[in-house]
Amino acid sequence: MASKQRTANTTSKAAPHKKDTGSGRRTGIWIFSFVILVVIIVTFIGAPIVSRSAGSGNLVFGSYAGQDIVYSQGNYFDHEKNLIAQRLQDSGQQTNSQNEVYQVWRQAFVDTAFHQAVMIQAHRAGLIVSGSAVDTQIAKDPQFLDQNGQFSVQKYNTTSNGDKFRLRGYLQQQLVQQQYVTDELNGVHLSSKAIDFISSMASPERRFDFVSYSYADFPDSKVIEYGTANEKKFQRISLSVITINSNQGEADAVHQQLLNKTASFADLARAHSSDMYADKGGDMGWTYYYQIATDFADPSVLDKVFQLKAGEYSSVLKTTYGWVIYRVNEPAQKPDFTNKDTVKIVRDYMSSFERGIVEDYLVSEEKAIKTSAETKGFAAAAATAGRSVSLTNYFPINYGNEQLFQQVSAVDPKLSLSAGVSRQDFFTQLFGLTGKQISNPIVLGNNVMIFQLADQRDASQSTISDLKTNLPQTAQQFQAQDVQTAIFESSKLVDNFNQTFAQYVYTAPKK
């Protein structure tokens, strides 16, 4: 924590970068205004497109601790927005979409919100910077450098006093922020006992033989068996639809026009329908019974629709979101389970909605291998079942797959173990195995696996050495993450960015 009335009178150092750990939990909102991680480039760098209702051009995008987060010409927000856009433009990419403009402005808002929170804390701590430190930064500013990279008094003197005043204020705030962040992170220390304890978690490392079944191994015969037993779900029909969300009276009136033939179905769909098919005259194309059955509290009302002939209309049907009227373009067709495409449709349905059936079958296959292995051995039992034995890399109990330790992975990168890294039962089973014991079947994503311990060892000295070396920096990263979380998940932050951006910055594309 910054000490009271601490004065930073040193030249600015390069801003520290947060190391990319590769962990999904390490990504998220970028932290610190000097950490820029945006992958798009915009040529829009200048002032915002402000509507008249924005008054003087000062835009309020939210607040932190009751203080408005404001955009205005020349303020911190404006500097960040221009800096981000310029860096991206310098990368050589050229694009100009509204989405990319949004990304630049959004990042500038995030930076400014963090900056504002830090400045509040720095003010409470009494942290200030000297005028000479600001002068040093001004002397390094690119706009005042000549062709030889030296400070040009002439360029500085030709700059307006207003611009120099705003730049000086911006640089002063940047120096305060950098000093505060440095004080916070340098205050993180790990004792030797803590380092030794964390390092001990790198051992033991184990590797395992395993047999894996994926959902793709669920046999076609079982798929067809399910499809045949549930034939109605896989009927298909070509339909057009009119969706009415307002009230049944409007739906009945539209239906009567269809019966009276005063307007075509397509015209009525374009005029009244409120779904994604309206612009196409209501044409849904081919659809399966199961795809629309979930729209109805009682799916059996669809039975009559699937009995209609080409050109016929359904009655007005109540759905969970409104009312619909169907027209049959081509009558219903029963599923042909000799057709590979039909079998794939059923398989995909089962993978989404009948996972239990698939998993139960694969678990039973793995249990059979485990039972057989008690007499034949693991490899022989797998071979008898027509399966191959795969091997993991060495890894310790690394819950969450933290980058500090060896990663939980298979030798074959196509065989992912990532679904197990945040599950206690996964590590409990694997690190509870002894001798030639085989684990119970474990469902990992779309795979079912059984494991047998292949080998165990202590982490190498080089691994322990690297771990101890990197731990202080890792502790700082964790502290940085805590600071980030405290700010951006705080009730003190009011985020109205999207509303303000949409009203005053975004310009709708011309039709």
Q: Are 196 and 246 in contact (CB under 8 A)?
A: no
> Side by side, which strands form the sheet with 323-333?
283-288, 236-244, 323-333, 317-318
What stretches of 243-301 show up as alpha helix (H) in DSSP?
Answer: 248-260, 265-272, 289-293
d(CA 32, CA 480): 9
How many C-beta atoms lie closer than 10 Å to residue 303's C-beta?
Answer: 12
- Provide the 3-class DSSP secondary structure of residue 320: coil
The confidence score (pLDDT) of residue 321 equals 93
Which residues does 33 contact at the CB level (< 8 Å), separation at least 6? 80, 111, 112, 114, 115, 174, 177
Region of 350 please: left (phi>0), alpha (psi -120 to 50) or beta.
alpha
Candidates 3.40.50, 3.10.50, 1.20.120, 3.30.70; CATH matching 205-216+356-457: 3.10.50
CA separation (Å) from 355 to 295, 358, 475? 21, 5, 41
d(CA 270, CA 278): 5
The confidence score (pLDDT) of residue 184 equals 66
Ranges of beta strands (E only) in 360-436 are 390-391
Q: Do domains 205-216+356-457 and 236-333 have the same CATH topology?
A: yes
Q: What is 236-333's CATH topology? A: Chitinase A; domain 3 (3.10.50)
The confidence score (pLDDT) of residue 84 equals 87
Omega of the bond prior to 204 within 30 degrees of 0, cis?
Answer: yes
d(CA 474, CA 18): 9
Full-model pTM = 0.62
Nearest to 74 by CA among 57, 53, 49: 57
The confidence score (pLDDT) of residue 146 equals 87
Candidates 2.30.29, 1.10.4030, 2.60.40, 1.10.287; CATH matching 29-191+476-505: 1.10.4030
pLDDT digits (tens, 9 = 90+) for 55-71: 456 899 999 888 899 99
Q: Which residues of the chain register pLDDT less than 50?
A: 1-55, 95, 509-511
Over its C-alpha atoms, the chain yields an Rg (Å, rounded) of 32
The confidence score (pLDDT) of residue 170 equals 81
The confidence score (pLDDT) of residue 204 equals 97
The confidence score (pLDDT) of residue 56 equals 53
d(CA 32, CA 54): 29
Residues 387, 390, 396, 402: is their CA dihedral positive or negative? negative
Nearest to 184 by CA among 491, 478, 493: 478
The confidence score (pLDDT) of residue 25 equals 37
- Helix (H), strand (E) at residue 449: strand 447-457
Domain boundaries, the chain: 29-191+476-505, 205-216+356-457, 236-333
| β-strand pairing of 236-244 with 323-333 | antiparallel
d(CA 169, CA 163): 10
Nearest to 258 by CA among 324, 306, 305, 327: 327
